[in-house]
Structure 1
Amino acid sequence: MGSPINITSKEQFNNLLSSSTFVVADFHAQWCGPCHAIAPVYEQLSAQLSRPNRIAFTKIDVDQQQEIAKAYGVTAYVSVEQSTYKWVTASFKDVKANPARMPTFIVFERGRPTNTIRGADPSKLNQVIRKLATEASKSEASGGSAEGSSSGATWIGAATPKGYSDITEEYDVKGLELLNRDSDFGTARTLLEPSKPSALGNGKGKDGGSDWVESDTDEQLMLFIPFKSTLKVHSLQITSLPPSEGEDDEVPMRPKTIHLYTNRSHVLGFDEADDIPPVQAVTLEAGDWDPKTGTAKIDLRFVKFQSVFSLNIFVVDGDGDGEKTRVDRIRIFGEAGEKREMGKLEKIGDDQGE
């Protein structure tokens, strides 16, 4: 139990997102009257409900931590007298017509924003946070961990890297593509689902279907992921849970060689990918797969993944002599940046290669 934590840097906030299951962020400003009015309510909730490594309450001054506020789309409409503040992007007419959007409260679960409250609404804030505390208690009682729980939280197959968060949800579903998938199994979207894989004992897949992907004519897969914002990608987690020998007539393989390409305008064809040097090539060995969750962590050359607006993940081959490759989940970790104007992606030249 304690007072809200004043955030003084992006690194401090990212570390907190990694170390606490739930984080509540109060985006406020010194000049904001409603922020001061609701502060005692927020501080009381923090004193009653905060728990080390479970629920953390934070306060973020939008003028002092502009990069954090911008990353999560926090802006403010203030009075005309305050309109010289750089946070005001509306015209004078818009400022008069719109109610205050400060403070803004954002609830994070395992590093991902899950709920937003704009404005000083004590009743709604109290309702959302107490519901959050109830969910946290249920998760704690059931032994919730990185492997997931029954509370509906986003499943992650391994620990979140320190200082970063799960940014998988930043993908643009409209442009998502997956080449050479077997239509009897899941789609590209299946790979980015937040749910725990059914192979780990979570029941049937969505709508009774298979909640994993298998390749079709050979072991290769090509996944194209466009993003809604420009990302800094730190690492990937790939989960593959093929059945044991004898459980299936044709046991699929786990991925072995993976090539990564950034900032392409479209999904790469297999022949096209063979002619382009990857930004990074990865070889996964048997020991890289966690025996409990079937997840392998891929650390990226961070300097080459600083401004990523699309990612091609090419599974070149599988680990074994089979004809098919299986992937259950993919998670992306790093930092989300400014929202990108959706439209045609600009193709970056081959200077992105190795």
Structure 2
Amino acid sequence: MSGPEQISSPAQLSTLLSSTRIVVVNFYNEWNTACKAIAPVYEQLASQPAWLGVVKFAKVNAEQQAQIAQRYSITNPPTFMIFKNGQQVSKINGANPQQLSDAIKRLATEVESDGSSSGGFGEASSSGGGAWQGASLPRGYTDVTDQVDVRGLDLLNADSDFGGVRTLFETTAPSALAAGKGKGAATESESKKDWIESDVDEQLMLYMPFTSTLKVHTIQLTSLPPTSDDDDDDEIPMRPKTIHLYSNRQHNLGFDEAEDIPATQTLELDASSWDEKTGTAKLELRFVKFQNIHSLVLFISAGDGDGEKTRVDRVRIIGDTGEKREMGKLEKIGDDS
């Protein structure tokens, strides 16, 4: 098996990504010591017969191909990116051959076992760490939900009969989808209520601190309320409609407090925002406003319908990671159950 393909233009990379199931790309600099050290290891990895017909390897000189590097937010090579059916599924920063090899093996095994293709909005996919996602990733960004500091999570107005706040960040598919039934599969009789619902009204206030400073591009919100033939059934929880985001707060906001503070961004969702196969909406943020983020407050102020409660099954954070934070400086408010 030949070594990595040298990429000399954006068009060449696009052709490779569109014609190959799995592509691994090494972004490097000629002068970088870590890049030089990992180069022979990468060459050896690319030459293994086990990848023949399943994985193709490429390399990009980040300085010579600045347009490609900028497109994928490459700032500190060596950086390795793994693509499945043209969609980025993993990004590994630094010279870590074992992590890279494990990620490739995991994805190659997945492709060989399911024989399926992914990529569209309605295809559930997995990140390099195996976490379920309800939508494809935007090009150049990764799932950074693992940077959520679960010890500092706080959720206001949640019904205690359902899952706790950490349920939102579970890496498994929601039970409504795992059962293969799609929207409406989960009912109140199910033993595993792996979602959250609001309590006294439709509002929810979620505080998310992060262990690293993030650039947040998109939030994937999954909501799978059961269906009902009765349009007037106010017992059926609603999907979120109006969402306010507040960046870099030291703790959660009270509901009255949130009304007096301008949101960093407000989003309005409707029926067309939700993918009917995965029950996921992609909240595309004004990226310039969500740089250097160490915490987010997500305030659902209204649900879409006439019900009294709002339901959320999963939250995924999509973006890029920066420097690790000193977690001792985080202020934790409320129960983190």
Asked if Structure 1 and Structure 2 have the same fold, meaning a TM-score greater than 0.5 normalized by the shorter chain, the answer is: yes
1:281 aligns with 2:281: no
Cα pair 2:174 2:314 within 8 Å, conserved: yes
Change in CA separation of 1:281 and 1:27 when aligned onto 2, cut-off 3 Å: closer
> What is the CA–CA distance in structure 2 between the aligned matches of 1:61 and 1:328, rounded to whole Å?
41
**Structure number with bigger Rg:** 1
2:141 corresponds, among 148, 158, 164, to 164
> What is the CA–CA distance in structure 1 between the aligned matches of 2:261 and 2:102, rounded to whole Å?
53
Cα pair 1:230 1:308 within 8 Å, conserved: yes
**Residue identity matched to 1:169:** D
Aligned to 1:233: 216
> What is the CA–CA distance in structure 2 between the aligned matches of 1:150 and 1:199, rounded to whole Å?
17
Q: What does the per-residue CA deviation read over 1:218-259, in whole Å, with 9 as the maximum and x for residues that have no partner?
A: 111011111111111112221111111159881001111111
Aligned to 2:123: 147
1:111 corresponds, among 89, 93, 100, to 89
| Distance apart, 1:68 and its partner CA | 4.3
1:202 corresponds, among 179, 199, 203, to 179
> What is the CA–CA distance in structure 1 between the aligned matches of 2:298 and 2:154, rounded to whole Å?
11
| Distance apart, 1:323 and its partner CA | 0.9
SS at match of 2:132: coil
Identity of aligned residues (%): 53
Cα pair 2:244 2:263 within 8 Å, conserved: yes
Change in CA separation of 1:302 and 1:245 when aligned onto 2, cut-off 3 Å: same
SS at match of 2:216: strand
Q: What does the per-residue CA deviation read over 1:255-311, in whole Å, with 9 as the maximum and x for residues that have no partner?
A: 111111000001111111111111111111222222222222222111111121100
Aligned to 1:137: 112
Change in CA separation of 1:37 and 1:157 when aligned onto 2, cut-off 3 Å: closer
> What is the CA–CA distance in structure 2 between the aligned matches of 1:107 and 1:163, rounded to whole Å?
11
Query: Number of matched residues?
Result: 306
Cα pair 2:29 2:63 within 8 Å, conserved: yes
> What is the CA–CA distance in structure 2 between the aligned matches of 1:26 and 1:200, rounded to whole Å?
35
Change in CA separation of 1:307 and 1:44 when aligned onto 2, cut-off 3 Å: same
User: Structure 1 residues 315-324 or 329-338, which shifts more?
Assistant: 329-338
| Distance apart, 1:18 and its partner CA | 11
With the length of structure 1 as denominator, give the TM-score of the two structures: 0.69
Aligned to 1:42: 45
> What is the CA–CA distance in structure 1 between the aligned matches of 2:252 and 2:18, rounded to whole Å?
32
> What is the CA–CA distance in structure 1 between the aligned matches of 2:101 and 2:24, rounded to whole Å?
12
Q: What does the per-residue CA deviation read over 1:10-30, in whole Å, with 9 as the maximum and x for residues that have no partner?
A: xx99xx999987564658776
> What is the CA–CA distance in structure 2 between the aligned matches of 1:171 and 1:18, rounded to whole Å?
32
1:89-104 mapped onto 2 (5 Å cutoff): none
| Distance apart, 1:166 and its partner CA | 2.1
Cα pair 1:28 1:35 within 8 Å, conserved: no
Cα pair 1:177 1:225 within 8 Å, conserved: yes
Cα pair 1:261 1:278 within 8 Å, conserved: yes
User: Structure 1 residues 144-153 or 314-323, which shifts more?
Assistant: 144-153
> What is the CA–CA distance in structure 2 between the aligned matches of 1:2 and 1:130, rounded to whole Å?
18
| Distance apart, 1:156 and its partner CA | 2.2
Aligned to 2:226: 243
1:316 corresponds, among 289, 301, 305, to 301
SS at match of 2:309: coil
| Distance apart, 1:61 and its partner CA | 7.3
> What is the CA–CA distance in structure 1 between the aligned matches of 2:263 and 2:17, rounded to whole Å?
31
Cα pair 1:46 1:57 within 8 Å, conserved: no
Change in CA separation of 1:232 and 1:131 when aligned onto 2, cut-off 3 Å: closer
Q: What does the per-residue CA deviation read over 1:109-146, in whole Å, with 9 as the maximum and x for residues that have no partner?
A: 85345899846x8xx9877744542222113x155556
Q: What does the per-residue CA deviation read over 1:74-118, in whole Å, with 9 as the maximum and x for residues that have no partner?
A: 7xxxxxxxxxxxxxxxxxxxxxxxxxxxxx978788534589984
Q: What RMSD in Å do the two structures reach over aligned CA positions?
A: 4.4
> What is the CA–CA distance in structure 2 between the aligned matches of 1:2 and 1:226, rounded to whole Å?
45
> What is the CA–CA distance in structure 2 between the aligned matches of 1:309 and 1:19, rounded to whole Å?
38
> What is the CA–CA distance in structure 1 between the aligned matches of 2:94 and 2:238, rounded to whole Å?
41
Q: Which runs of 5+ in 2 are unaligned?
A: 332-337
SS at match of 1:57: strand
With the length of structure 2 as denominator, give the TM-score of the two structures: 0.72
> What is the CA–CA distance in structure 2 between the aligned matches of 1:17 and 1:337, rounded to whole Å?
26
Cα pair 1:18 1:160 within 8 Å, conserved: no
Change in CA separation of 1:210 and 1:6 when aligned onto 2, cut-off 3 Å: farther
Aligned to 2:334: none
Q: What does the per-residue CA deviation read over 1:179-229, in whole Å, with 9 as the maximum and x for residues that have no partner?
A: 111111112222122222221243799x95211110111111011111111
Change in CA separation of 1:56 and 1:208 when aligned onto 2, cut-off 3 Å: farther
Aligned to 1:341: 326
Q: Which runs of 5+ in 1 are unaligned?
A: 75-103, 347-354
> What is the CA–CA distance in structure 1 between the aligned matches of 2:312 and 2:18, rounded to whole Å?
25
Cα pair 2:7 2:60 within 8 Å, conserved: yes
Cα pair 2:2 2:47 within 8 Å, conserved: no
